Amino acid sequence: MADRAESESRKLLGRLRDTMAEQAAGQERLDKITHLTADSMGTEVCSIYLFRDDETLELCASEGLKAEAVHQTRMKLGEGLVGRVARTGQLMNTADAPSQRGFRYMPETGEEIYSSFLGVPIQRLGEKLGVLVVQSKTAREYTSDEVYALEVVAMVLAEMTELGAFVGEGAALSARHTQPVLLRGTAGQEGTAEGHVWLHEPRVVVTNLVADDPVKENERLSAAVETLRVSVDDLLAGAADPEQVQVLEAYRMFANSKGWMRRMEEDIARGLSAEAAVEKEQSSARARMSQVTDAYLRERLQDLDDLSNRLLRILTGQGKETGADMPRDPILIARNIGPGELLEYGRSLKAIVLEEGSVGSHAAIVARALAIPLVVHAGRITNEALNGDHVMVDGDQGIVHLRPDETVVSAFRDKIAMQAQALERYASIRETPCVAHCGSRIELHMNAGLMADLPSLVSSGAEGVGLFRTELQFLVRNQMPRRTELAVLYRRVLNSAKGKRVVFRTLDIGSDKVLPYMKPNDEPNPALGWRAIRVGLDKPGILRMQLQALLRAAEGGPLTVMFPFVAQFEEYRQARAEMDKALERERILGHPIPSSLSVGAMLETPSLAFAPKKFFEEVEFLSIGGNDLKQFFFAADRENERVRRRYDTLNVSFLSFLESIVARCRETETHLSFCGEDAGRPIEAICLAAIGLRSLSMRPASIGPVKHLMMRTNLKDLREVIMNAKERGDQSVRPAVMTYLRERV
């Protein structure tokens, strides 16, 4: 019975291949496929529904339904049984279709006489393209062999759709990768850019789906899998770090999986080529991945997906190097990317668009350090984009225009031109101190994390580095950096600053920043977990090593160090004690001691704002970490799009809380600054200055816009506007502030 099923499957695939090889228009090919599928499976109906847009399916070909319904019958995603299959990505097999929940009768099709229904999704590597359906008058469920046969036809349809075999009239048959696409993601780094697509990992395209000689295909598969296993073993042999070994062991487990191999061999026996068998299993893994909520299982399925890509590259010979030249204005497109890989591209990139990622990911940290516009969560981008495609990225709004039409291009270029004009205006005030219209002096500093950032000290007009993130040097390596390496790097930073103050923040890891060589902790809420100074105090060896490197980098000059995520006075005291120990050790070793040493803390938790007065007297300076403080104040995860935009920085409650911190620092004469995304937003910045903050730290590109508005604003008048809004009981002062600016500035 199994041999017969394999023979019938190969026969059907052979007929499909012959149909594909014929010179015919797209519609004619679809019509032939529905005819031969219905004939081969012995069903009265075979229909192909394809997406005409993200939410609408269209009947594009049918054997058995009324001819006039083709290209006229349409349904929304989730509507009817066909829409349900499309939405869930799961097949439906029923003997009595009208009795199924969600059944929708389409009178124009004449399908009321058919009882049984089998629908399978047409999808390629997780991308939904349509639904393939067979129907019969007889009330029966289709056999597993019939289900398999239809799944194989759906796979062939998906691959041939990707290769442009069904291009015709109408939106549903429009050529792929040619139409304008608007993708909405999440803003990871502000800025706008125009350029051309550069795919980090170009897709593998399978052209030989059907094979006549299963023995030969099995031999090809076995040889490729053996090559894959050897490459994984070689990687394992060279891996010294336990965590790397753990990941590669998972790879090896899948590479040696008998179940994985058996399923691919069964696919080949039924007529698929080795490449098609691998991709069929990969698509199945992708489909399962979308249904799994458990993070561990999703990671394992991701391993299988990555392994399948490796195997496909071995079988097809299509490596990452395709021979294509990187465009002069590359915009990097990837599912995800590590910080090391991103740094290899460096500042050559105009922008970055990720299908996955997060606003707090390693890639986002590097993108911010390099001041490269970034959009994350741009779904389908890796399936839609081709190398060389024209693309425009709006990092301010989290929008990507792929292959934009002329109206979009014109509007986007106008926006870029306006930004360029603004930059020219900002350049004229670069050397001018930031003094508000009322005479208040505001210090504007820049955030940094790489040596490449330091030239911005001059070009931006920053008065110093208010935050130097030291974790990037740890994140981009496969092993812990040495103290001497860090000391050399920190010395270069201080030299590049040319006497301007640099505030070094000690290692801020944990939460969304996990070192590749440290054992990850599966925490239910990592943002509130083992991170930053908590790691430093629990692993004092790492903290001491970094403090020693900083002290040596100073070479007898001034040094400023800040501890991150301090939640209570005792944590600061313990961290300060580690600094004192490191200082004493340097004295004993005869190394030069900094001429002045300033040690502070980041105020990122509401608890620290209520610390004893003694804390404010002991700490030499404080920097409000606005991003974390805001998410904890509002109990709104800044990685969660549903809630992170729900709460306004200019909310009266939050501004009042910040005012109380300003008052406590003023009482003890503790220097206070504000560091975070909001410091670089001009409206928010002038409001922070109006409530008493006199030092702000932001990305270099924000200094010009902030200074420009600050110099035109009377902070005393603005403070009165804010106070009046509070007294009226406004939830946010933003409307009142915007009215004031329109009338007075």
Write down the pLDDT at residue 401.
93
441 and 391 together in one domain: no
> Is the model's pLDDT at 304 over the cut of 80?
no
Q: Is the dihedral of CA 75, 79, 85, 88 positive or negative?
A: positive
User: Which amino acid, residue 294?
Assistant: D
> Is the model's pLDDT at 156 over the cut of 60?
yes
What is the domain-level CATH number for residue 508?
A: 3.20.20.60
HSE-CB at 727 with a 13 A cutoff on CA atoms is: 6
- CA distances to 241, 329, 661 from 576, rounded to whole Å, are 31, 47, 22
Task: Dig out the tokens for 596 from the structure.
Answer: 């002045």
Angle at 213 between CA 212 and CA 218, to 5 degrees: 130
158 and 281 together in one domain: no
State phi, psi for 198 to the nearest 5 degrees: -130, 110
What is the domain-level CATH number for residue 26?
A: 3.30.450.40
Contacts of 730 (CB under 8 A, 6+ apart): 652, 736
331 and 198 together in one domain: yes
407 and 490 together in one domain: no
Residue 338 CA, distance from chain mean position = 11
| Strand order through the sheet with 45-53 | 74-76, 56-63, 45-53, 127-136, 116-124, 92-94
| CA–CA dist 70, 48 (Å, integer) | 10
What is the domain-level CATH number for residue 281?
A: 1.10.274.10
Write down the pLDDT at residue 326.
86
Rg of the chain in Å (alpha carbons): 31
What is the domain-level CATH number for residue 369?
A: 3.50.30.10
- How many residues would you count in the chain? 745
591 and 631 together in one domain: yes
| CA–CA dist 288, 278 (Å, integer) | 15
Write down the pLDDT at residue 267.
86
Higher pLDDT among residues 10 and 268, named by residue? 268
Share of the chain above pLDDT 70, in %: 88
471 and 414 together in one domain: no
The answer to whether residue 154 is domain-embedded is: yes
The answer to whether residue 207 is domain-embedded is: no
> Is the model's pLDDT at 433 over the cut of 90?
yes
285 and 403 together in one domain: no
Domain stop point among 294, 316, 338: 316
What letter does residue 572 receive in the DSSP assignment?
H
Write down the pLDDT at residue 261.
87
What is the tally of structural domains in the chain?
4
Write down the pLDDT at residue 60.
92
Write down the pLDDT at residue 424.
77
580 and 650 together in one domain: yes
Domain stop point among 419, 450, 465: 419
Domain stop point among 316, 341, 363: 316
When pLDDT is cut at 50, 70 and 90, the band that residue 232 belongs to is confident
Write down the pLDDT at residue 617.
96
What letter does residue 377 receive in the DSSP assignment?
-
> Is the model's pLDDT at 1 over the cut of 50?
no
The answer to whether residue 681 is domain-embedded is: yes
**Backbone angle region of 630, left / alpha / beta, with phi > 0 → left and psi within -120 to 50 → alpha:** alpha
User: Which amino acid, residue 342?
Assistant: L
The answer to whether residue 321 is domain-embedded is: no
Write down the pLDDT at residue 300.
61
Q: What is the dihedral of CA 201, 207, 209, 212, to 10 degrees?
A: -130
312 and 331 together in one domain: no
The answer to whether residue 28 is domain-embedded is: yes
State phi, psi for 294 to the nearest 5 degrees: -70, 125
HSE-CB at 67 with a 13 A cutoff on CA atoms is: 3
61 and 144 together in one domain: yes
The answer to whether residue 701 is domain-embedded is: yes
Write down the pLDDT at residue 686.
97
Which residue(s) pair with 49 in the sheet?
A: 59, 131
Average of per-residue pLDDT values in the chain: 85
The answer to whether residue 373 is domain-embedded is: yes
Per DSSP, the three-state class of 199 is strand
304 and 410 together in one domain: no
When pLDDT is cut at 50, 70 and 90, the band that residue 208 belongs to is confident
| CA–CA dist 622, 569 (Å, integer) | 13
Taking residues 369-379, report their average pLDDT: 84
Between strands 92-94 and 390-394, the pairing is unpaired
pLDDT in tens, 75-127: 998 899 999 999 988 899 999 998 888 888 888 888 889 999 999 999 877 67
| CA–CA dist 688, 410 (Å, integer) | 36
Share of the chain above pLDDT 90, in %: 43
User: Which amino acid, residue 83?
Assistant: G
Annotated catalytic sites, by residue? 362, 675
| Strand order through the sheet with 374-376 | 181-184, 399-402, 390-394, 192-199, 330-334, 351-354, 374-376, 186-189
The answer to whether residue 322 is domain-embedded is: no
**Domain that residue 379 falls in:** 181-202+327-419
The pTM (predicted TM-score) of the whole model is 0.66
pLDDT in tens, 606-637: 999 999 999 999 999 999 999 899 999 999 88
| CA–CA dist 37, 504 (Å, integer) | 67
Query: What is the secondary structure of 472-507 as a DSSP string?
Result: HHHHTSSSPPPHHHHHHHHHHHHHHHTT--EEEEPP
523 and 658 together in one domain: yes
Write down the pLDDT at residue 512.
53
Under a CB-based contact definition with an 8 Å cutoff, are residues 364 and 376 in contact? yes
In the chain, % helix, strand, coil (3-state, to 5) comes to: 50, 15, 30
When pLDDT is cut at 50, 70 and 90, the band that residue 733 belongs to is very high
Determine which of 507-521, 614-628, 663-677, 711-725 has the lowest per-residue pLDDT on average: 507-521
When pLDDT is cut at 50, 70 and 90, the band that residue 723 belongs to is very high
Taking residues 570-576, report their average pLDDT: 96
Higher pLDDT among residues 286 and 300, named by residue? 286
Task: Dig out the tokens for 154 from the structure.
Answer: 């759906």
pLDDT in tens, 158-205: 877 776 777 777 777 776 777 788 898 888 888 889 999 998 877 777
Taking residues 284-300, report their average pLDDT: 63
Higher pLDDT among residues 410 and 717, named by residue? 717
